[in-house]
Amino acid sequence: MNSISLEATTRMLVISGKGILAADESLPTIQKRFKALGIESTEETRRAYRELLFTTGGIEKFISGVILFEETLRQKTAGGSSFVEVLTRKGIIPGIKVDKGTIGMPNSLQEKITAGRDGLRERLQEYVRLGARFTKWRAVITIGAAIPSRACMYVNAHDLALFAALSQEAGLVPIVEPEILMDGDHDIARCEEVTSAMLELVFDAIRAHHVMLDGMLLKPNMVLSGKQSAKQASPSEVADRTIRTLRRTVPAAVPGILFLSGGQTPELATEHLNIMNARGPHPWELSFSYARALQDPALKAWAGSASNAREAQYLFYQRAKCNGNARFGTYSKQMEKMAA
């Protein structure tokens, strides 16, 4: 895939009114979410759940792409069609999470680096053969006493940049995800400080690795108060500080920014995105790449029972629709009552 094709795919992923579903939960993560609802995590229950999401009627109106886990990329529906085929027929672009999760950083085990560099070039070639058109790599930064360290931020920034370069080499659009975790009692000003510093390092590394800015996407956290902070910033302040941070650090050549939800409630993640888009225009498309904030209502309704599939799909569709409206800045809380 040449640079023109990379740019075209990137633009399709951030097309107006749509965003990306992150359905790339690792086996331990989805096991944890299933267990909380009394669902046994097996290859079949995971397959059935993903099929429920991907076959929901009409989601292509609000979903441009889906990030898959490696197991899911290889799976098929009960009728024998691969998930890649199902999504492609809807006009939804299939992608793949390529990192192998986080591990403790040497000499600073409370900080994390991301595994998965070994053999990445070869794995990317296989993912292309399986039908993936974009990739994602997540780095995790924790705010705490005396952390994050410069070393942790530097290593993660360069791993993200190397991943992006290798993805583009393979003809895949990279989604670069440097996540500043919500966990902690820090205030929103501290989150803004760390987010700004991390994004500056990320784009320094991206330039050093000659990554094409117009053939990549950024998946950052919003600038938020720590989850355990006594003072929670208002949605308006979250929007203001997030936009300010991005304008200071993200080149205008990057076509789109796809926010992660990071533990926010589905409604709050949508509200924050809506306010930011209502305050546009911006140099880039402001979109979403949510996992829990799109899936939670549907997962709870489904609860592992095929008899609940119709209700679960309705809730998933409504959640996608609310975020599709937030892309235009036209979402309202009244839409939540309509979905209830």
Active-site amino acid positions: 177, 219
Secondary structure percentages of the chain, helix, strand, coil, to 5:
50, 15, 35
Name, in order, each residue with C-beta under 8 angstroms of 233's C-beta and a sequence gap of 6 or more. Answer: 187, 188, 224, 225, 241
d(C-alpha 325, C-alpha 255), whole Å: 19
| Nearest in space to 282 (alpha carbons), one of 224, 331, 240 | 240
Q: Give the residue carrying structure tokens 């939800």.
A: 261
Per-residue CA distances from 80 to 56, 77, 89, 302, 314 (Å): 17, 5, 14, 22, 24
CA-based R_g, the chain, Å:
19
| Nearest in space to 52 (alpha carbons), one of 314, 240, 230, 272 | 314
